[in-house]
Structures are given as structure tokens and as C-alpha cells.
């Protein structure tokens, strides 16, 4: 998958709403990111998040979209501390969907698996 395809697929769906603040170069820094001690926590999450996956700079082979889908369907991502200030990032069960390897998987996460 190319960076453009990856961004298109995830970005057009839910990654932008739920993942981009920590996993892209498009972080919208909240006001509390400038205030210690929150600052250190937020900056740390974003640095670490970008280090594992950066949706703005996604090269094929860099990361597995399948892994991203698994994180979402198992509710491990987004990180829970994010919801306090970003309730819009909460995903419904329908949005989370089945893990991509699940026989009943459909929708965006099944497509992600086919592409990777
Ligand atoms: C509040 C910041 C934050 C948000 C929002 C967030 N992540 Fe993360 N993500 C992290 C951090 C920090 C790590 C590295 C530490 C860890 O695995 O907990 C990480 C790790 C990951 C990993 C690697 C996990 C592993 O086991 O190696 C994947 C895949 C991932 N995130 C996907 C996503 C997806 C997809 C979304 C949106 C649904 C998302 N993240 C939202 C901060 C975030």
C-alpha cells in the first residue's frame, strides 16, 4: 500500500478523528499541551505515537494496516486518556468492526487487510 492509499483509506474513515493527533504530522495541539505537567504527557504520547506509526508519512512495509485495524477492533487504540478531552474520538462498536482476520469482518477493516 502506498502512503496515499493508506491515508485515503484510514483518513477518510476514522483515523483522522481518532488517531491523527498522535500518529500524524497534523497534530492539533490542545491548550493543555502547553501547560506542565500535562505538557510532558501529551508530548510524550505524540512522539511515541508518531514513532510507531505516522499516517502522514506512511511507507508500505513501515507499518501494518492490519495491526492498526486490530488495535481499533480490540479497543486498545485510541489510548483511553485521549477520550477525556476528545469524546468525538470514541468509536462505536460498528465503527470498530471485527478484527480483519475474523471471517465475518466487513467494511473498512476487511478492506485494509486485502490491501496489505
Ligand atoms: C493519545 C495519543 C494516541 C492516539 C489518539 C492514538 N494512539 Fe496509537 N499509539 C500511541 C502511543 C503512545 C503508542 C505507543 C505505545 C503503545 O503501544 O501503547 C501507540 C501505538 C500504536 C500502535 C502500535 C501498537 C503495538 O502494539 O505495537 C498502533 C497500531 C496504533 N497505535 C494505532 C492507532 C490507531 C489506529 C489509532 C486511532 C484509532 C490510534 N493509534 C490512536 C498514541 C496514540
Q: What is the pLDDT of residues 13-34, one digit of tens each?
A: 567 778 888 988 889 898 888 9
State yes or no: pLDDT of 51 exceeds 50. yes
List of residues 6+ apart from 109 with CB closer than 8 A: 69, 72, 73, 97, 98, 99, 100
Q: What is the pLDDT of residues 58-102, one digit of tens each?
A: 665 556 667 777 888 888 999 998 998 889 888 888 778 777 677
Contact in structure between 116 and 1 (CB atoms under 8 Å): yes
Beta strands in 1-116 (DSSP E): none
Cell readout for 19 is: 488517531
How many residues does this entry show for the chain?
116
Residue 77 Cα, ligand 1 centroid: separation in angstroms?
5
State yes or no: pLDDT of 47 exceeds 90. yes
User: 0.85 exceeded by the pTM?
Assistant: no
Residue 31 DSSP label? G
Residue 115 Cα, ligand 1 centroid: separation in angstroms?
20
Percent of the chain's residues with pLDDT above 70: 68
Give the model's pLDDT for residue 12.
55
Amino acid at each position: 500500500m502506498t502512503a496515499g492509499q493508506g491515508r485515503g483509506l484510514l483518513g477518510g474513515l476514522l483515523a483522522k478523528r481518532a488517531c491523527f493527533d498522535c500518529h500524524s504530522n497534523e497534530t492539533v495541539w490542545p491548550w493543555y499541551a502547553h501547560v506542565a505537567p500535562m505538557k510532558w504527557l501529551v508530548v510524550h504520547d505524540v512522539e511515541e505515537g508518531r514513532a510507531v506509526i505516522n499516517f502522514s508519512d506512511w511507507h508500505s512495509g513501515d507499518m501494518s494496516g492490519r495491526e492498526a485495524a486490530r488495535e481499533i477492533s480490540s479497543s486498545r487504540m485510541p489510548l483511553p486518556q485521549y477520550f477525556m478531552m476528545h469524546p468525538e474520538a470514541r468509536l462505536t462498536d460498528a465503527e470498530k468492526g471485527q478484527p480483519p482476520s475474523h471471517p465475518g469482518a466487513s467494511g473498512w477493516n476487511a478492506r485494509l487487510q486485502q490491501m496489505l
